[in-house]
């Protein structure tokens, strides 16, 4: 309460606002003689006095006004003049014209600092476009717009449109020049002329119209009005290089190199690299080596070092290859270390900055540069390793030692894995396995990669226990390795545990959604589980990734066939043959589908194409032969059945079909000779003997064949009885086995086995109980109504067998984990 002050009740808080100093009363200034005299004359501009003027209320001091420094004047009213203040106080400036105060401002005038009372500003004067200068400017703008439009069309891939617009720009520019000449204006816009010519030349190059492009570049280079056109000779040299005119290309590269100053060091280096490439194309490796060595001494880079190693490899200089490789791995990349992008736990603001720059374009560029450098180094090491030492193993060891002492330490392990791959290519499997097994004690990443390769290697050898062991080892080393999970799924797939295999494949896809091997195998697994719609989804996703994969499209066709949608299956098979037009299996499958749809002509077309590319498919041969027999062209069917005889010489039915075609064609003597040859090879064949009895005109031979026929028929009956008794014994043995009689079960099993062998042997021979003479002209004869008649079930083509069997090693487990 000591700091609280109460207001006195008598004080009026609002008093004094209407009081003013009479000194500032300016209403009677017009009647003040002294003031008026000061305004009209220079009386107020007199120099200030040092003494006070008697008879005034103020002392002698200057007053700062817009009229300069003044002295105080005496007023007839006995008060100081306007603007005067007390002694020692600062006087404000007055009469600021920019704020609206003027000397002519009279009483009662409105305050208008922006001059709005004068009305709107007059309109701007319109340009007179009728003048020649304005017309020239408009035409120049139109030419520039056409050049921009041409460049935009090229960026969008419309090459022909870009060329047409560039030509239009050239015509507009020539029209502009003519109009200027007619009006007497000799001012030529060289920049515009140069831009038109250069754009037109580039569009000619983009459209591969190289002679026209060379002419345009010649026009630019030979024009003395243009300066710094030497670099365009590089473009001309590039055109000669594309035409494989290497001497002229080198000539123009060197001309460009002479006309570019040393200040443009980077451009000169690039031109020299082009010259080296031309030397390599010409086989002049010594000249290329000289230029590359100069570049490596001036401005070393990864690409030049790699090309230098290639040149040394071409001439077989081992020592210089080693030196060049050492220089290659010593070239600095000029990028930051990856530790820079690891966030610290202390500073939150720095962690936010690191998170922001971790995936920016600069970091992506650095990663791409590092990946490119590692690819060049690995390729160079794999190239020179077999050449620099007496054995490729010693060469790999030298390269590994060099890498371990360089900035590419992590590539040493990858190179050792490539050493194992080289052993595999040389069929030295034991050494490859031993090399890969040395990685079991290395760090987790290398161990996982080596174990993955070993697992895949044992999968190919069908050693599934070892494959599973190393797949588990790879997964334990790196659970997020999709290749290891895929191999583990493959080993489970072999054991027909499809549900568990599907889980491993899905886990691999969760770790790497672009793992196409896991997605393919997952689709096959769903197909084994008869979950066709899920399998279809997998292969459709895979088709979106691998647009040109014939295997994926073939699987889609098979799935649509299983889903009873033959039209979709045919559509996908058409896409398959558009990618691989010489693959006989999709063609045979198309023939089968069209045959099932009743379109015989299309079926014949695709079957015939399949036969042309693969004339050893027995199913296709059989269909084509049956097609010609059905069409009453037995002479053409003979060719296919003879080929089937060559493919399966132990199958008597093909030779019987050849003989039957001869007989139906009217060549009875040839048919008789064919049947005799068949009887010589298969003396117990009943059908052959029946035809020999029918065709033989010699009574002695006919009687002999009749005797043999009766004997063969008797043997056939005996065999059929044995087969029948064997089946009955097998059935009784099974019944007794269920009743607990072990001895009877064993006896039944032996009888069943013997009967099955006899049954299989009988099934391999074309048996028939039909009458001898064919009742229909479409049937070949009674012996083979079943193989060729209309009631037969068409054989499954190789494509269908391939789809149904799904060869595990080649198709289902297409997880190619071995690097190149």
Q: How far from the centroid of its chain's Cα atoms is residue 740's Cα?
A: 67
Q: What residue spans of 41-104 are helical by DSSP H? A: none
* Alpha carbons 582 and 572: distance in angstroms, whole number: 16
pLDDT above 80 (res 433): yes
Same domain, 271 and 324: no
Same domain, 283 and 359: no
User: What's residue 50's pLDDT?
Assistant: 47
Are 497 and 503 contacting, i.e. CB atoms less than 8 angstroms apart? no
| 498 lies in some domain | no
Provide Rg for the chain, Cα atoms.
51
The mean-pLDDT minimum among 59-63, 549-553, 567-571 falls in 59-63
- Give the residue among 213, 218, 309, 287 at the shortest CA–CA distance from 255: 218
User: In which element (H, E) is residue 69 found?
Assistant: strand 68-70
Same domain, 257 and 200: yes
- Give the residue among 513, 523, 461 at the shortest CA–CA distance from 489: 523
**Domain range enclosing 675:** 625-722
- Give the residue among 591, 551, 518, 560 at the shortest CA–CA distance from 816: 518
The mean-pLDDT minimum among 199-203, 364-368, 526-530, 781-785 falls in 781-785
Same domain, 364 and 425: yes
Last-in-domain residue among 722, 740, 765: 722
| 471 lies in some domain | no
* Alpha carbons 204 and 212: distance in angstroms, whole number: 6
* Alpha carbons 597 and 569: distance in angstroms, whole number: 12
User: What's residue 713's pLDDT?
Assistant: 74
Last-in-domain residue among 692, 707, 722: 722
Question: How confident is residue 384, by pLDDT bands cut at 50, 70 and 90?
Answer: very high
Same domain, 279 and 321: no
pLDDT above 80 (res 104): no
- Give the residue among 501, 485, 412 at the shortest CA–CA distance from 452: 485
Q: Residues 702-709: contacts with CB within 8 Å, 24+ apart? A: 708/683
Last-in-domain residue among 691, 722, 753: 722
| 392 lies in some domain | yes
Q: Is 564 left (phi over 0), alpha (psi -120 to 50) or beta?
A: left
| 124 lies in some domain | no
Other beta carbons within 10 Å of 793: 6
| 527 lies in some domain | no
Other beta carbons within 10 Å of 242: 12
* Alpha carbons 542 and 332: distance in angstroms, whole number: 40
Q: How far from the centroid of its chain's Cα atoms is residue 509's Cα?
A: 19
| 324 lies in some domain | yes
* Alpha carbons 226 and 26: distance in angstroms, whole number: 77
The mean-pLDDT minimum among 33-37, 177-181, 191-195, 289-293 falls in 33-37
Same domain, 252 and 327: no
Give the model confidence (pLDDT) of 168-224 as tens digits.
Answer: 999 999 998 888 888 887 778 888 999 999 999 999 999 999 999 999 999 998 888
Burial bucket for residue 340 (CB in 10 Å: 0-12, 13-18, 19+): exposed
Instruction: Give every CB contact of residue 407 below 8 A, 6+ residues apart in sequence.
Output: 329
Same domain, 283 and 320: no
CATH code for the domain of 182: 1.25.40.10
- Give ∠ CA 479-485-488 in degrees, rounded to 5: 125
Same domain, 137 and 207: yes
- Residue 250 DSSP SS3: helix
Same domain, 634 and 691: yes
Q: How far from the centroid of its chain's Cα atoms is residue 237's Cα?
A: 31
Instruction: Give every CB contact of residue 162 below 8 A, 6+ residues apart in sequence.
Output: 150, 151, 153, 154, 203, 206
Extract the runs of DSSP E, i.e. beta strands, from 315-455. none
Percent share of the chain, pLDDT over 90: 35
Are 459 and 486 contacting, i.e. CB atoms less than 8 angstroms apart? no
Give the model confidence (pLDDT) of 253-286 as tens digits.
Answer: 999 998 888 888 889 999 999 999 999 999 999 9
pTM of the predicted structure, to 2 decimals: 0.55
Same domain, 248 and 322: no
Same domain, 259 and 376: no
Q: How many domains does the chain have?
A: 3
| 639 lies in some domain | yes
Same domain, 255 and 144: yes
- Residue 128 DSSP SS3: coil
């Amino acid at each position: 309460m000591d700091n609280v002050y109460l207001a006195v009740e008598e004080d009026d808080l609002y008093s004094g606002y209407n009081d003013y100093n009479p000194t500032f009363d300016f209403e009677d200034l017009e009647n003040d003689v002294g003031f008026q005299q000061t305004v009209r004359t220079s009386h107020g501009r007199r120099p200030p006095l040092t003494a006070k003027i008697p008879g005034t209320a103020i002392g002698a001091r200057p007053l700062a006004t817009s009229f300069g420094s003044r002295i105080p004047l005496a007023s007839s009213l006995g008060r100081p003049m306007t603007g005067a203040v007390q002694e020692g106080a600062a006087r404000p400036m007055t009469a600021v014209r920019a704020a609206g105060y003027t000397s002519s401002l009279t009483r009662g005038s409105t305050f208008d600092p922006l001059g709005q009372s004068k009305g709107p500003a007059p309109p701007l004067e319109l340009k007179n476009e009728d003048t020649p200068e304005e017309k020239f400017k408009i035409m120049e703008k139109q030419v520039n717009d056409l050049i921009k439009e041409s460049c935009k069309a090229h960026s969008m891939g419309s090459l022909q449109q870009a060329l047409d617009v560039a030509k239009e720009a050239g015509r507009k520019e020539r029209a502009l020049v003519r109009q200027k000449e007619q009006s007497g204006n000799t001012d030529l816009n060289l920049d515009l002329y140069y831009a038109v010519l250069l754009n037109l030349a580039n569009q000619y190059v983009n459209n591969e119209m190289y002679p026209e492009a060379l002419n345009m570049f010649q026009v630019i280079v030979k024009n003395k009005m243009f300066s710094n056109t030497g670099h365009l000779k590089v473009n001309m040299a590039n055109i000669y290089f594309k035409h494989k005119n290497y001497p002229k290309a080198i000539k123009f590269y060197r001309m460009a190199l002479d006309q570019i100053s040393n200040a443009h060091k980077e451009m000169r280096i690039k031109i020299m690299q082009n010259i080296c490439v031309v030397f390599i194309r010409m086989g002049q490796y010594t000249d290329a080596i000289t230029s590359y060595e100069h570049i490596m001494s001036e401005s070393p880079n990864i690409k030049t070092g790699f090309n230098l190693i290639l040149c040394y490899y071409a001439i077989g200089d081992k020592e210089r290859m080693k030196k060049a490789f050492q220089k290659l791995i010593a070239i600095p990349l000029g990028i930051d270390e990856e530790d820079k992008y690891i966030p610290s736990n202390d500073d939150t603001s720095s962690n936010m900055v690191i998170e922001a720059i971790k995936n920016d374009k600069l970091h992506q560029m650095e990663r791409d540069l590092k990946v490119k450098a590692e690819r060049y180094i690995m390729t160079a090491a794999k190239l020179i390793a077999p050449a620099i030492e007496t054995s490729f193993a010693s060469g790999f060891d030298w390269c590994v030692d060099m890498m371990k002492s360089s900035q590419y330490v992590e590539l040493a392990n990858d190179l050792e894995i490539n050493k194992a791959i080289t052993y595999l290519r040389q069929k030295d499997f034991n050494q490859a396995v031993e090399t890969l097994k040395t990685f079991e004690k290395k760090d987790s990443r290398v161990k996982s990669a080596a174990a993955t390769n070993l697992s895949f290697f044992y999968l190919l050898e069908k050693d599934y226990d070892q494959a599973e062991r190393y797949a588990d080892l790879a997964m334990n080393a790196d659970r997020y390795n999709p290749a290891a999970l895929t191999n583990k799924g493959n080993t489970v797939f072999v054991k027909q545990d499809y549900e568990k295999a599907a889980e491993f494949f899905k886990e691999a896809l969760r770790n790497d959604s672009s793992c196409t091997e896991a997605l393919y195998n997952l689709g096959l697994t769903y197909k084994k589980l008869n979950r066709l719609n899920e399998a279809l989804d997998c292969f459709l996703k895979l088709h979106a990734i691998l647009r040109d994969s014939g295997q994926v499209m073939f699987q889609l066709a098979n799935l649509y066939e299983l889903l009873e949608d033959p039209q979709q299956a045919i559509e996908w098979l058409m896409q398959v043959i558009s990618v691989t037009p010489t693959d006989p299996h999709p063609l045979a499958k198309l023939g089968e589908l069209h045959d099932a749809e009743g379109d015989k002509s299309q079926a014949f077309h695709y079957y015939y194409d399949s036969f042309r590319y693969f004339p050893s498919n027995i199913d296709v041969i059989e269909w084509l032969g049956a097609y010609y027999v059905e069409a009453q062209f037995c002479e053409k069917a003979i060719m296919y059945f003879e080929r089937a005889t060559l493919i399966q010489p132990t199958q008597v039915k093909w030779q019987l079909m050849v003989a039957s075609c001869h007989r139906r064609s009217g060549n009875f003597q040839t048919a008789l000779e064919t049947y005799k040859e068949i009887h010589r090879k298969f003396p117990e064949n009943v059908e052959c003997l029946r035809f020999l009895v029918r065709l033989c005109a010699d009574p002695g031979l006919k009687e002999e064949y009749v005797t043999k026929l009766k004997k063969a028929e008797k043997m056939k009956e005996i065999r059929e009885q044995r087969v029948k008794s064997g089946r009955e014994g097998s059935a009784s043995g099974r019944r007794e086995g269920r009743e607990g009689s072990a001895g009877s079960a064993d006896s039944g099993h032996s009888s069943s086995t013997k009967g099955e062998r006899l049954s299989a042997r009988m099934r391999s021979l074309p048996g028939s109980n039909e009458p001898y003479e064919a009742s229909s002209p479409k049937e070949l004869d009674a012996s083979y109504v079943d193989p060729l008649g209309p009631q037969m079930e068409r054989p499954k083509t190789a494509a269908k067998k391939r789809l149904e069997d799904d060869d595990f090693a080649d198709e289902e487990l297409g997880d190619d984990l071995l690097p190149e």
